[in-house]
Amino acid sequence: MSVLVCITGRNNEKLMAKLQDALPDVELKLWPHCDDLESVKFVLAWKAPQELWQKLPNLKVVQSFGAGVDGIPMSILPSGTVVARIIDPQLSDDMAEYVLSHALAHKLRHQNYCAEQAKKNWKPRRARKGVTAGVLGLGELGKAVAQRLSDNGFTVRGWSRSAKQLDDIACYYGEAQLASFASGLDYLVCLLPLTDSTHGVLNRQLFQNVSNDCLLINVARGQHLNEQDLIDALNEQELGGAVLDVFTTEPLPEKHVFWSHPKVTVTPHIAAVTNLDTVVAQIAGNIRACFTGAPIKNGVDVTQGY
């Protein structure tokens, strides 16, 4: 059996060295340097090219190098393939910190003061009053974000696919409760997985339910957002601002309107970055489990796509 690491768009030297240290007896191959794809049973993947998946007839496990699994085309994998993702308290903590920092910056009007500093024009204003925040997705990351916001004085709602009960969070679920969840929100955070059902969920109809001063924070995937709807909603004062960490096209194209829109803050997909020091052990554990037939940890439901 062989193990293939197929992670594009980053330097994998440190990862390969750490994985090899954890698995000294395992031969690890790094895409595209693998001439025997038929023997591959385990793939560690991130932004793997589509052509790879058709060439792995004996695949047993695909491990995502991140929390999201939307880059793995589950419907075309050999039947019974297990798909696993990263679950890491450090990742949840980083995400909670990112969202809280941007929510507080909006509340305290930091961006306005930066703009005023550039113009040498001083206009003191009180902090924004609205503190009702809604988190779309109450999974590993969404729950951590909801809790962090609640611990810091926000009144928090959450929305998920199935019904939940969480301390301090008003829980909503399903399509039928989406409008009540969104009604009057001052902060709207997206932490949904990207699936057929969540594609385009951040749209004008949803924006028309939240408050006119609401800050949208999209830290999930670019395809959750209808970009034109966001621009229209911002320009027509239906939303107060947007913090975007993810985009339909990454890196964000140089000519994109988001770079210079006065109500938009962009960051380069860094809200919660997979940390080698904390995740190598769980990836190595799943590789060993694949060898021995032990259960794979942090598997997703391939029928739901997350």
Which residues form the interface with ligand GLV (CB under 6 A)?
A: 66-68, 274
Determine the Cα angle at 30 with ends 28 and 32, to 5°: 140
Least distance from ligand GLV to the Cβ atom of residue 111, Å: 24
Among residues 148, 147, 110, 99, the alpha carbon closest in space to that of 246 is found at 99
**For residue 64, what are the CA distances in angstroms to 47, 235, 267?**
9, 38, 22
Residue 66 near ligand NAP by CB under 6 A: yes
- The yes or no reply on residue 197 touching ligand NAP (CB under 6 A) is yes
- Applying CB under 6 A, which of residues 193, 222, 240, 241 lies at the interface with ligand NAP? 193
Q: Which of 297, 293, 292 is nearest to 25 (CA)?
A: 292
List 34, 215, 272, 279, residue binding ligand NAP (CB under 6 A): 272
| Between 145 and 185, CB nearer to ligand GLV | 145
Q: Which of 221, 224, 256, 261 is catalytic?
A: 221
The verdict on 145 binding ligand NAP (CB under 6 A) reads no
Chain centroid to CA 154: 22
**Interaction of residue 130 with ligand NAP, rule CB under 6 A:** no
**Cα distance between residue 286 and residue 110, in whole Å:** 44
The DSSP secondary structure of 148-183, one letter per residue, reads: HHHHTT-EEEEEESS---BTTEEEEETGGGHHHHHT
The binder of 191, among ligand NAP, ligand GLV, none, by C-beta within 5 to 8 A per type, is ligand NAP
Q: Tell me if residue 233 falls in helix, strand or coil.
A: helix
Q: Does 150 bind ligand NAP (CB under 6 A)?
A: no
Six-digit token string for 83:
């798909």
Quote the crossing angle between the two packed helices 276-292 and 13-22, to the nearest 10°.
50
**Quick one: tokens of 5?**
């690491």
Q: Are 161 and 185 in contact (CB under 8 A)?
A: no
Q: From 34-42, 76-84, 217-225, 247-255, give the range in contact with ligand NAP by CB under 6 A.
A: 217-225
Burial class (CB in 10 A: 0-12, 13-18, 19+), 18: middle
- Report the residue number, 19 or 171, with the smaller CB distance to ligand NAP: 171
Partner whose footprint covers residue 141, from ligand NAP, ligand GLV, none (CB < 5 to 8 Å by kind):
ligand NAP
Is residue 221 annotated as a catalytic residue, yes or no?
yes
Contacting range for ligand NAP; rule: CB under 6 A; set: 4-12, 29-37, 44-52, 140-148: 140-148
- Under the binding rule (CB under 6 A), the answer on residue 160 touching ligand NAP is yes
Among 102, 157, 161, 263, binds ligand NAP (CB under 6 A): 161
Q: Which CB sits closer to ligand NAP, 60 or 85?
A: 85
CA distance linking residue 270 with residue 40, whole number of Å: 31
Question: Among the candidate windows 40-48, 188-196, 205-213, 249-257, which touches ligand NAP by CB under 6 A?
Answer: 188-196
Cα end-to-end span (Å), the chain: 27
> How many whole angstroms separate alpha carbon 192 and alpha carbon 196?
11
* Residue ranges in contact with ligand NAP by CB under 6 A: 66-68, 137-142, 159-162, 191-195, 197-198, 219-221, 245-246, 269, 271-272, 306
Active site residues: 221, 269
